[in-house]
Amino acid sequence: MRLPDPDGTRVVLIGVDEYQHFPPLPAVRNNLTELAKLFRSPLGGSLPARHCTTVLNPTDINSTLDPVHQAASEASDTLVVYFAGHGLRLSDGSFRLAVRNSERGRKQYASVAFDDLRAEVLDSTAANKVVILDCCYSGAALEGFMGSTDGVADETSIEGTYVMTASAATQAAMAPPGAPLTAFTGELVKALANGIAEAPDPLDMSSLYKYVHGQLKSQGMPLPQQRARGLGHDIALFHNNWCPPSEKPTLSTKREEWFREIHHELLGRLRDVSAFTQDQLRPELGDTALIRSLLVAQIAVQLTQGKSTTTISDTLSSSGVFATPRPNADELSELITEVQFAYETDGLANSVSFLGGLGLFPWTPESTYMLLIEYWAAQRGRTMPRPHVERELSELWDTADTRVLSAISSLPSLPLVTYPDPWEKLKAEPDLRVGTVTAMMLGERGGGDRAWEHWMSTRPWSTLKARHLVQLGGDLVRCKKAQQTLAQYVDLAPADHNSRAVFVRAAEIIEEQLKDIKLAIESMSAIEYDLLRERTADEHFQDGCLATFSKHLLKRSQVFTPFEEHKMNHGTWAAIPWWSLVVHGKQEQRAVEDFLKRGGLQLGVRAESPDADELVISCEEPGLGPSWIAARLIFDLRDVVQACEVLLLGRRQSVVVDFLSEHINEWDDRQMHLAGSLDLSLGPEIGATLTDVATCALRRLLPGSSGPPLHHDGVPALDRILSSSRLPKIARCPR
């Protein structure tokens, strides 16, 4: 095999992204741009620009086929014609390409008959002919659909040519909203840009098709079709750009590895529960490991909201996640019990401080759930229109969070796949002086090394597994510091001195890299951004204290002991705060029952100053309602354990209150029964106050301590104190 002769090769790229009577397809414009770059690059044999024609938004048959006619008459070696846009299938079975002015109904003649395009290609004397169609027959009635193309492969057979189409008859070629490229062309571009393992060089059309087909199949996307005549399968248009495995993986690859680790840690001992068998879950909803992980995180969130096993089981029994027949009550109870045990003992992971070193915290299972929801929504959005995904988010996962909706169709994304390593970029810099100066600015000379070391030392998670965040965050802080330093050098350099041009060019490279970093960050989830952002000294200290405190909370057995006090009690359950209030007598019990139906408690926080030794939290009905529920919680801030409790409250910004009733049985034994639970939101203002007070108290109690050192799970001084301290009571009454 060989690449086509550039002199005898002609390429015509036709695309329509704006329609008068059909939904727009904004990704098509990018399709043409990326393919044109590849054909003109060394990978495509450095095809001269004049031999690669781009036709964007043709309006009629002449503006569509005239460039094809000219290219067909000039090509002697290879002719390539690509079309992306809407397709039309008429009642007589014929196939037409929709151009900008095409219209359904009586004006179907305004579209371009594929037979006419085929005739132009057949008239060419080129030895090789390739036609690639990324379109559909029916047009897209739903947002993001381009329609189906099955039958095109049969109808479009051209002697001595190769034809590849985007999908089959009963499927829809996808142009996901917000995605930079259409699904089919996106995988085509990725294969050409990155190469294909174990494929020949040059890359023949058959190998290219197998790769694209496999990638789309693994994502649950519509599958492409191919037809060839003669030696069409062996036509090669590009070099195989595959790099050996020793090459650095892309950010996208590292990110996918991170999510696989999250699934592994979350599922842990839960893999064998009967409700998680393969045939119990609907396969069309996506990757089974992801669906299982979502269910685990969802159950953990419901447990931390004070919901009972029965309530959670009833919710799961009607969930659309499960296939028919659904798991029975015993199977669901087993699953919930296992999740509860996992959350109580190790925060749903094998590492008690941070979730398997992955950056997910046991005191905020909601963030883990949100991360997985965003990831699922983004993947689902690549095969389903946005309204459908929004409906599934509400029906399956009970969420309508705007962060999730904004993530649809953004992950995994092209910016993560194509993100350039700044050091590799500098190696390829033709001006040695510019490359050297830029490297110095990113390193020790420009303060980049110090910025990176500081950023790494303040990470609230292990840097061993979230490698995409380590790379991206490190590049971000290095580039920001280098940008500041270079700005000073540019200002100081004389206008006519040749060093100024070097500094200016170095600053431009850094600016370009920062733009790539910004795109990569925008393509990730809100939870990942929070893990990535720079932390203040106080936040670093708080993260370390919470990690240390959680480790000790999760070590102990979860045994509830009835309280003797006739007042509200503060304590914990697993790694989160929990309160209990004991009521006495039938009158108080009836009042609580009425209150739980109405809901609502208001909180007040009183501390003389941020340096106070005592903090009082008042808890009562708004306006002191008809049940007259009122209580006070007193925290001794000279006690490191209680200071940690207050910090946990402040950072979590919510707490569950169990209302308990007291009973004396016939043997005069005192028993406690759960009347109900209330998930109480503290709000950001109270949360900030509690966090500030607790931080001041802990700094007084741990003089000289900062956050955990690099690769350490917590604050050593706090760890030593907690090892010999009495931890808070288990305040969560068994369900």
Give the number of C-alpha atoms closer than 13 A to the C-alpha of residue 138, restricted to the C-beta side: 15
Four-CA torsion 204, 206, 207, 213, nearest 10 degrees:
140
* C-alpha distances out from residue 54 to 16, 45, 353, 399, 681, Å: 11, 18, 56, 43, 57
pLDDT over 70 percentage in the chain: 87
**Sole residue written with tokens 């309280």:** 563
Strands 670-681 and 654-664: antiparallel
Round the average pLDDT of the chain to a whole number and report it: 84
* C-alpha distances out from residue 24 to 57, 112, 148, 178, 521, Å: 11, 18, 17, 12, 27
Q: Tell me the pLDDT band of 137, cut-offs 50, 70 and 90.
A: low
Q: What is the reported pLDDT for 586?
A: 77
* C-alpha distances out from residue 699 to 533, 534, 705, Å: 23, 21, 7
- Averaged pLDDT for residues 312-328: 90
In this structure, what token pair is assigned to residue 141? 């009635």
Q: Which residues contact 214 (CB under 8 A, 6 or more apart)?
A: none
- Averaged pLDDT for residues 256-271: 85
Measured distance CA(459)–CA(535) in Å, rounded: 8
Measured distance CA(356)–CA(346) in Å, rounded: 10
- Averaged pLDDT for residues 268-291: 83
Q: What is the reported pLDDT for 277?
A: 76
Q: What is the reported pLDDT for 356?
A: 55
Q: Is the model's pLDDT at 698 over the cut of 90?
A: yes
Contact status, residue 575 vs residue 555, Cβ threshold 8 Å: no
Measured distance CA(484)–CA(15) in Å, rounded: 43
Q: Is the peptide bond before 412 cis (omega within 30 degrees of 0)?
A: yes
Q: What is the reported pLDDT for 713?
A: 64
Q: Tell me the pLDDT band of 143, cut-offs 50, 70 and 90.
A: very low
Q: What is the reported pLDDT for 424?
A: 87
- Averaged pLDDT for residues 251-255: 89
- Taking only the tens place, the pLDDT of each residue in 532-572 is 888 899 999 998 899 899 989 988 888 887 776 557 889 99
DSSP 545-612: HHHHHHHHHHHS--------SSSEEEEEETTEEEEEEEE-HHHHHHHHHHHHHH---EEEEE-SSTT-
Q: What is the reported pLDDT for 293?
A: 93
Contact status, residue 118 vs residue 153, Cβ threshold 8 Å: no
Q: Is 544 exposed, middle or buried (0-12, 13-18, 19+ CB in 10 A)?
A: buried
Q: Which residues contact 522 (CB under 8 A, 6 or more apart)?
A: 410, 415
Contact status, residue 649 vs residue 660, Cβ threshold 8 Å: no
Q: What is the reported pLDDT for 178?
A: 65
Q: Tell me the pLDDT band of 407, cut-offs 50, 70 and 90.
A: low
Q: What is the reported pLDDT for 247?
A: 62
Rounded to an integer, what is the distance from CA 486 to the centroid of its chain?
34
Query: If residue 386 lies in a helix (H) or strand (E), which one and from where to where?
Result: helix 386-397
Q: What is the reported pLDDT for 478?
A: 96
Q: Tell me the pLDDT band of 646, cut-offs 50, 70 and 90.
A: very high
Measured distance CA(560)–CA(57) in Å, rounded: 70
Q: Tell me the pLDDT band of 35, cut-offs 50, 70 and 90.
A: very high
Q: What is the reported pLDDT for 308?
A: 92
- Taking only the tens place, the pLDDT of each residue in 334-344 is 999 999 998 99
Q: What is the reported pLDDT for 627?
A: 64
In this structure, what token pair is assigned to residue 419? 């993100």
Q: Tell me the pLDDT band of 38, cut-offs 50, 70 and 90.
A: very high
Amino acid, single-letter form, for residue 501: A
pLDDT over 90 percentage in the chain: 42
- Taking only the tens place, the pLDDT of each residue in 335-376 is 999 999 989 988 887 554 555 567 788 899 999 999 999 888
Q: Which of 58-62, 492-496, 525-529, 595-599 has the highest mean pLDDT?
A: 58-62
Q: What is the reported pLDDT for 167?
A: 67
**Sole residue written with tokens 């499927």:** 171
- Averaged pLDDT for residues 657-663: 85
**Sole residue written with tokens 């009571």:** 729
- Taking only the tens place, the pLDDT of each residue in 152-167 is 555 554 556 888 988 6
Contact status, residue 448 vs residue 481, Cβ threshold 8 Å: yes
Measured distance CA(301)–CA(293) in Å, rounded: 12
pTM of the model: 0.67
